[in-house]
Structure 1
Amino acid sequence: MSRLRPLKPQELNAAQRQLYGQVSGGPRAAGPQRFRLTAGDGSLTGPFNVFLHAPTVGAALSSVGEAIRYGTSLPARLRELAILTVAGHRDSAFERYAHERVGRSVGITEEEMRALRNLDDLDLDDPAEAAAYAFCKQALRKRGVDDAIFAAAAEQLGEQTLVELTALLGYYEGVALLLSVFDVGVPDDPDGVCHAGCDD
Structure 2
Amino acid sequence: MAIQSRLTPLDEAQMNEAQRAVLNEILNGPRGNLDGPFLAWIHSPGLASHAQRLGAFCRYGTRLELRLTELAILYTAAWWQSQAEWQIHESIARSAGLVDPIIEALRQQTFPPFNRTDELLVYRVGKSLYETRRIDDLLYADADAVSADYPSTDSFYAGRAR
Structure 1 length normalisation: TM-score? 0.66
Within 5 A, what are the aligned runs for 1:72-151? 72-151=62-141
**Bigger helix fraction:** 1
- CA, structure 1 residues 52+15, in 2 after alignment: closer, same or farther (shift >3 Å)? same
SS at match of 2:75: helix
Within 5 A, what are the aligned runs for 1:12-27? 12-27=15-30
Q: Which residue of 1 aligns with 2:60?
A: 70
**Aligned-partner residue type, residue 68 of structure 1:** C
Q: Separation in 2 of the partners of 1:7 and 1:154?
A: 43
How many correspondences in the alignment?
148
Q: Which residue of 1 aligns with 2:12?
A: 9
SS at match of 2:8: coil
Q: Separation in 1 of the partners of 2:108 and 2:139?
A: 20
Asked if the contact 1:77–1:108 (Cα under 8 Å) also holds between the matched residues in 2, the reply is yes
SS at match of 1:102: helix
Q: Separation in 1 of the partners of 2:130 and 2:9?
A: 31
Structure 2 length normalisation: TM-score? 0.79
Q: Separation in 1 of the partners of 2:127 and 2:74?
A: 11
* CA apart distance, 1:76: 1.6
Asked if the contact 1:128–1:157 (Cα under 8 Å) also holds between the matched residues in 2, the reply is no
Per-residue deviation, residues 57-99 of structure 1 (Å, max 9, x unmatched): 2111111122223322111211111111111111111211111
Q: Which residue of 2 aligns with 1:28?
A: 31
- 1:60 pairs with 2:50: yes
- Structure 1, unmatched stretches of 5+, are 30-36, 38-43, 162-200
